[in-house]
Structure 1
């Protein structure tokens, strides 16, 4: 097994090397918390005030569902895991603005403290702005799992959501999503398991070359630190 630093270097090279002109941008969020609350994971959380200010800065007309990622200048908003705080704070802001959003569900977390319940998911299923994606069952590092385990994690999460929600689930986000966390074999499984798109945590814009083989699409992380750097 190669050292983790090797994969980290590969990821940095991928993020910085030219891939062609940007076509679209995918943003990744986790927790959105109100002032006075303590987030479960501060490293992937953003305050409600910053989140709202950032939303106001986006071109609402360009925010789309995943199937429209090939539209020039389009923006996709995604939420991973998914934390109950997103349902409580972020989603009302998105609905109030009429903005599409995508939620990636690690199905083994459903009903656990701090995460969505099945009732929450059914309520979201009634929202035409919401697209559902799978995020495995147990949110593990897939690179270190056996091939049949990876296949089961992908398919079981997809099947669970489709049965619960009565919707086809076409999108998948890798847990952790880094070059270290995901092998080439893992990426190939996305298509084999019936998904149309797979999403990583490579931090850059989406290009035409990404869209030709859309199994490890990049996403830019949104948290307090990143938005503070942008002046929010």
Structure 2
């Protein structure tokens, strides 16, 4: 495998070489009503303790402004409406955050709120309730602070869609016991609803790759009354697909990857298959 220092320039060259064709394809999809909904996920926006799940404040703002110039930024509810309607002619993006880092409240989230840019904020409730850092941060030697209860309440009162991300940041793909799945998925919903006194309508799978999902988890989330669930292994959401499952793409700090994914990489459009969640709607 090529080192990162070599891959990024090559990806940038690929992006520029294929950009004329992408623009033509985007125009054709707009006419056909088959424009995909892109849904991004971020974790932590901060300028200290950089790691693979942190993006700098400046780069984050640059990305959002780049998106605003090219796409409509919409809520998850609106995204589901367009996916379920079989027609979408307007290029659109949804913004989401996972985990719940206190650093996001320093600058990134107030900046989004000030600009009236919608976003959904998924949090793992045990971390919010206890203030204990995530295991992956402890293992990396960077025990970063999670959001506090008061911060989540303030965000909810400001109109932010607060979503569930399990209680313990659990890998749902590894949980075979449906009672344990219920505790993680439904328990996090109830924790948040008690915290913010509002309905919690969306759930995001921790880690979010295909191996971190399961049919049982889809059934549990659907039975719990969630309006939708989010994965994080790439892919675009096309009109006519199942609006309950929203596929997401990482808000990568690499400009080459970010631009390549947002302008619809034809390889990703062809090769990323939707997770086979089974007949979870027939679970009653």
2: CA distance, partners of 1:150 / 1:102: 22
Matched, 1:53 2:62: yes
> Paired residue for 2:36?
23
1:62–1:75 CA contact under 8 A, matched in 2: yes
Q: Secondary structure at the match of 2:207?
A: coil
2: CA distance, partners of 1:132 / 1:87: 14
Unaligned runs of 5+ in 2: 1-32, 83-87, 134-144, 260-284
Q: Which of these residues, 186, 192, 197, is aligned with residue 155 of structure 1?
A: 186
Residue 92 of structure 1, CA deviation: 1.7
> Paired residue for 2:127?
109
> Paired residue for 2:4?
none
Matched, 1:63 2:73: yes
1:124-159 deviations in whole A, cap 9, x for unaligned? 12112x101100001111122111100111111101
Matched, 1:119 2:150: yes
Residue 164 of structure 1, CA deviation: 1.1
State which structure, 1 or 2, has the greater radius of gyration over its C-alpha atoms. 2
Matched, 1:80 2:109: no
Residue 90 of structure 1, CA deviation: 1.1
> Paired residue for 1:186?
217
2: CA distance, partners of 1:59 / 1:138: 34
Q: Secondary structure at the match of 2:199?
A: coil
Alignment of structure 1 residues 163-178 onto 2, 5 Å? 163-178=194-209
Residue 213 of structure 1, CA deviation: 4.8
Matched, 1:200 2:231: yes
Aligned length: 204
Alignment of structure 1 residues 201-220 onto 2, 5 Å? 201-210=232-241, 212-214=242-244, 216-220=245-249
1:102-128 deviations in whole A, cap 9, x for unaligned? 100100111235110011111112112
2: CA distance, partners of 1:95 / 1:213: 26
1: CA distance, partners of 2:243 / 2:57: 35
> Paired residue for 1:15?
none
1:45-101 deviations in whole A, cap 9, x for unaligned? 111111011111113772122110034333211000111111112102201211011
1:22–1:205 CA contact under 8 A, matched in 2: no
2: CA distance, partners of 1:22 / 1:108: 38
Change in CA separation of 1:213 and 1:228 when aligned onto 2, cut-off 3 Å: closer
Q: Which has the higher helix share?
A: 2
Q: Which has the higher strand share?
A: 1
